[in-house]
Amino acid sequence: MDLQLKGRTCLITGASQGIGKGTARIMAAEGCRVAILARRKDLLDKLADEIAATGAARPAVLAEDVLQQGAPEVIRDKVYKALGNLDILVNSAGGSRPIPWDAGDDAWYEGMTLNFEMLRRLTMAFIPGMRAQKYGRVINITGSSEPRGVNVANSAKAAVHAWAKGLSRVVGGDGVTINSLPPGRINSEQILTKVHPDPKEREAFAKANIPAGYFGEPEDMGNLITFLASPLARYITGEVIHVDGGMKKFAF
């Protein structure tokens, strides 16, 4: 299937590791001109070199902290300078934030800002351009709506789902779609070093909770992200699509 992505422009946040990194590889292989963003420039440079070595266009490297004051506008300007316009935005920067049930406001503010507010503001920086060019794809990497305890990320990702649904209804007539993908357990830096650092525990968790029986790879997300980025996915918007090997227990 030709996904018709050759020459399309794409920004991927959180691309130094995990889901963002895997997605950058696939988007570049499909012929997209890609910008990769995270704080760790050394990792981004390495990924850009790896992608260039495959014969694909070398991604533009944006070493930015999305939590910095004014980051959305700075990032938008740098993306437009590097790529000329933006067709596809993959919001993957973020992370789990388990906290005590009575944690203070600072923990809530940091987790909500990273996982909801900055994602929303960055998207808003690109929506006018997408509407004007009558093409846009926003794909948010979110997370579970089945909390196992108090985790700021659960609330922030639920906020993304509700906001994205509303926005999809406003921008749908301009050829702009916005969808959210909650991963189940995908092998990534945070999963392997923080959430499930012990391989034996990982295996036991997968057997007990994931019908497929194993943790997914970033490319399991990247394949769907790439399809949703394509013109072929024009009729899919406002959706929350789980990529979790069947881990979610409820039908809706």
**Which residues sit at the interface with ligand NAP, rule CB under 6 A?**
14-20, 38-40, 43, 65-67, 92-96, 114, 141, 143, 153, 183, 185-186, 188-191
Could you give the strand order of the β-sheet that contains 9-13, starting from the edge strand earlier in sequence? Answer: 60-63, 33-38, 9-13, 88-91, 136-141, 176-181
SS3 category, 37: strand
Closest CB to ligand NAP among residues 74, 236:
74
Closer to ligand NAP by Cβ: residue 66 or 135: 66
Q: What pairs with residue 60 in β-bridges?
A: 35
* Closer by beta carbon to ligand NAP, 135 or else 183: 183
Q: Tell me whether residue 75 or residue 127 sits nearer to ligand NAP (CB atom).
A: 75
Smallest gap from residue 120 Cβ to ligand NAP (A)? 13
- Judge contact between 90 and 225, C-beta under 8 A: yes
- Lookup: tokens for 236: 């899919």
Least Å distance, CB 240 to ligand NAP, is 13
Q: How far is the CB of 57 from ligand NAP (least distance, A)?
A: 20
CA distance 10 to 135: 12
Given a contact cutoff of 8 angstroms between Cβ atoms, the answer to whether 59 and 48 are in contact is yes
DSSP state of 113: I
Tell me the closest approach of the beta carbon of residue 24 to ligand NAP, in angstroms: 10
